Amino acid sequence: LYKDKVIKNYPDSKYAKYLLNPDYFKELEADHANAEKKYSEAFFSFKTFDYKNAKQLAGEALALKPDSNLLPKARFIEMVSEGSSQDRAQFTASLDRYISTYPKAPTKEYAVQIRDLLKTEALNDYQQMIAKGYINENIINDELKRTENKAADEFEGKFSYDENIF
């Protein structure tokens, strides 16, 4: 009775999806891991100035509907990578859209700085900023940093030691 009520009244909830598919959470975790992997690959391509590949991989990560922490970072890589082949006006408009869409993103300040430099024509080649590592630290996904130390963790990174998680 309650199963039917949940499915009928809340069909888009995670609970209803689980009731319809007992492997839902396993599949959700696999999708999350795949999005993280695509993002990591996009970030590497971005750092190595392979903007075409970075844009494609970031788009693939976005298609997997990543969590809210990864979403603005992947969108930033996609937008900046696409901007490398756009004229100033198009790229500035893309930056404006990004800034208004993700006002609290950690990459917002870089989008604002790039936009302002493009508007004043002080930035002839924003790739110089990227080459100097100016942007890289704020678009790396912190979750990826934690998985690097997974082997030393007795629980293999499956649990968080962050006391402020809730």
pLDDT of 67-104, one tens digit each? 778 888 989 999 988 887 778 888 889 999 999 999 98
pLDDT of 121-163, one tens digit each? 655 555 555 555 556 555 666 655 555 555 555 555 544 455 5
Gyration radius (Cα) of the chain, Å: 19
Instruction: Please name which of 138, 136, 96 lies closest in space to residue 115, comparing C-alpha atoms.
Output: 96
pLDDT of 114-123, one tens digit each? 888 887 765 5
pLDDT of 37-48, one tens digit each? 988 899 998 888
Rounded distance, CA 67 to CA 3, Å? Answer: 27
Please spell the DSSP secondary structure of the chain, one letter per residue: -HHHHHHHH-TTSHHHHHHH-TTHHHHHHHHHHHHHHHHHHHHHHHHTT-HHHHHHHHHHHHHT---TTTHHHHHHHHHHHHHTTS-HHHHHHHHHHHHHH-TT-TTHHHHHHHHHHHHTT--S-THHHHHTTTTHHHHS-HHHHHHHTGGGSTTTT-S---TT--
Q: With a cut of 50, say whether residue 164 has pLDDT above it.
A: no
Rounded distance, CA 77 to CA 23, Å? Answer: 32
Q: What is the pLDDT of residue 166?
A: 37
